[in-house]
Amino acid sequence: MAFLDRLGEFAKNAADKANDGLEINRINSDITMQQGNITAYQRELGLYYWDKFVAGETLEQEAMDICKKIVLAQDNIVSLQAEIEKIKTDRAAEKAERAQQKQAEREQQKLAEQQALEEQEETPEFCSNCGMALTKGQKFCSNCGSTVTK
């Protein structure tokens, strides 16, 4: 019987601890919700004073200093956004310039290839031994194998 009593006591303790944990979690959730409410109220209070500042009202010196910090931060944001736009514009210009350079290189390469083809077609050479047509720059005749002389 003692075993069953201890087992019952253990189960009761486990259930109590679980219930306590649930209650603590519920209370912690309520605390977090109240902290969120406080932050929302502070934000609402700040907007109230900000609206007064924007409307041109004179506030207490500390509130005025905070509002001036906000204005300075807004000016900094505008400046930083302008920097971002400049970087984007510069990158776009560099990209366009690189594309133009690549196109010019391709055109140069194509022209060089055309000139090389034209040079090969201009004056065919012939092997002095067998009379076979040679391509420009060929060192040996592909027909008879003799050395090409110029």
Question: Is the dihedral angle over the CA atoms 67, 71, 72, 76 positive or is it negative?
Answer: positive
**pTM of the predicted structure, to 2 decimals:** 0.51
Give the pLDDT score at 124: 63
Distance, first Cα to last Cα, the chain: 120
The label of the residue with tokens 């306590």 reads: 20
The span from the CA of 82 to the CA of 89, in Å, is 10
Measuring CA to CA, which residue among 117, 120, 136, 121 is closest to residue 148?
A: 136
Give the pLDDT score at 57: 93
Give the pLDDT score at 120: 60
CB 59 within 8 A of CB 50: no
Arithmetic mean of pLDDT, 57-86: 94
Query: pLDDT tens digit string along 13-51?
Result: 777 788 888 899 999 999 999 999 999 999 999 999 999
How many CB atoms are located within 10 Å of the residue 98 CB? 10
Query: pLDDT tens digit string along 88-133?
Result: 999 999 999 999 999 999 999 999 888 877 766 555 688 888 888 8
Query: pLDDT tens digit string along 60-72?
Result: 999 999 999 999 9
The span from the CA of 32 to the CA of 39, in Å, is 11
